[in-house]
Amino acid sequence: MKIRPFLLAAASVLLLATSSAWAAPDCHALARQVDRWQAYLESYGSPTLLNVAGILAYGDTVTNGNFFVLGAHHKTDVSTIFVRNPAGDFIRVATSVPDGVAGSHQTAVGTTLTNGGAAYNALTLGTEYCGTVTLFGNSYDSVYRPIMNSDGTVVGALYVGDETK
């Protein structure tokens, strides 16, 4: 009998899921948070890149550095608005994710999503990613959702996360 690779992967997931030290993120609850936030942002208008420098706006409302829209209409520990630059990188243009430097009290604005990681790969395909990720030394149950302009091009992403305990 030949064991297919997908069966091995399923068995691995089953073993992980039965471990008391591991729990899957509540993807549905996190996705609902993104749904509310996305609906709020889209109430300003459609998402568009205003220039190649990576200025993202919903209608006339610019998101870059806009902490009012960053925390609006969702209740998660951290959130981020990413803009995708011409090189394909997702840059944090507004974020509440701490930079991980002890005592700095700064956010990770201006940093990039890891190229080639699971979230990056899903976003570049225009799909949502849910999983537990480590950002700057902290672990978060997370959802990343692509932001697409009117022609279906991925121009950025919305991210929400709850710190794991």
What is the tens place of the pLDDT at every residue in 26-83?
899 999 999 999 999 999 999 999 987 789 999 999 999 998 999 888 888 889 999 9
Q: Starting from the edge strand earliest in sequence, which strands make up the sheet with 129-135, in order?
A: 90-95, 78-84, 154-163, 138-148, 129-135
For the four alpha carbons of 121, 125, 126 and 130, in that order, the dihedral sign comes to negative
pLDDT for the residue 138: 84
What is the tens place of the pLDDT at every residue in 106-161?
888 888 998 999 999 999 999 999 998 888 888 889 999 999 998 999 999 999 99
Cα 96 to Cα 109: distance, rounded to the nearest angstrom: 8
* Domains of the chain listed by start with CATH number: 25-163 (3.30.450.20)
Phi first, then psi, for residue 113 (nearest 5°) are -70, 140
For the four alpha carbons of 89, 90, 93 and 96, in that order, the dihedral sign comes to negative
The dihedral over CA atoms of 91, 75, 133, 130, expressed in degrees to the nearest 10, equals -90
Q: What is the pTM of this model?
A: 0.82
pLDDT category, 22, cuts 50, 70, 90?
Answer: low
Residues 6+ apart with CB under 8 A from 12: none
Element (H, E) at 120: helix 118-124
